[in-house]
Chain A
Amino acid sequence: SQQGEEDPQALSIQEGENATMNCSYKTSINNLQWYRQNSGRGLVHLILIRSNEREKHSGRLRVTLDTSKKSSSLLITASRAADTASYFCATDESNYQLIWGAGTKLIIKP
Chain B
Amino acid sequence: NAGVTQTPKFQVLKTGQSMTLQCAQDMNHEYMSWYRQDPGMGLRLIHYSVGAGITDQGEVPNGYNVSRSTTEDFPLRLLSAAPSQTSVYFCASSYSRRGEDTQYFGPGTRLTVL
Using a CB–CB cutoff of 8 Å, the interface residues on chain A facing chain B are 1-2, 4, 9, 29-31, 33, 35, 40-45, 48, 50, 88, 90-93, 96-103
Contact = CB atoms under 8 A, between A and B. Distances in A.
B43 A100 contact: yes
B34 interface: no
A69 B102 CA distance: 25
A44 B4 CA distance: 12
Interface stretch (B14-22, B75-83, B104-112): B104-112
A101 to B, nearest CB: 5
Interface in B68-109: 90, 92, 97-100, 102-108
B53 interface: no
- 3 A-B pairs with the lowest CB-CB distances in the bound complex, closest first: A92-B99, A42-B105, A100-B42
Main DSSP-derived SS at the B contact region = loop
24 contacts: A9-B40, A29-B99, A30-B99, A31-B100, A40-B108, A41-B107, A41-B108, A42-B4, A42-B105, A42-B106, A43-B90, A43-B105, A45-B102, A48-B100, A92-B98, A92-B99, A93-B99, A96-B98, A97-B48, A97-B58, A97-B97, A98-B45, A101-B42, A102-B40
B100 A30 contact: yes
Interface residues of B, number: 24
B2 interface: no
A88 B103 CA distance: 13
Interface in B30-68: 35, 40-45, 48, 58-59
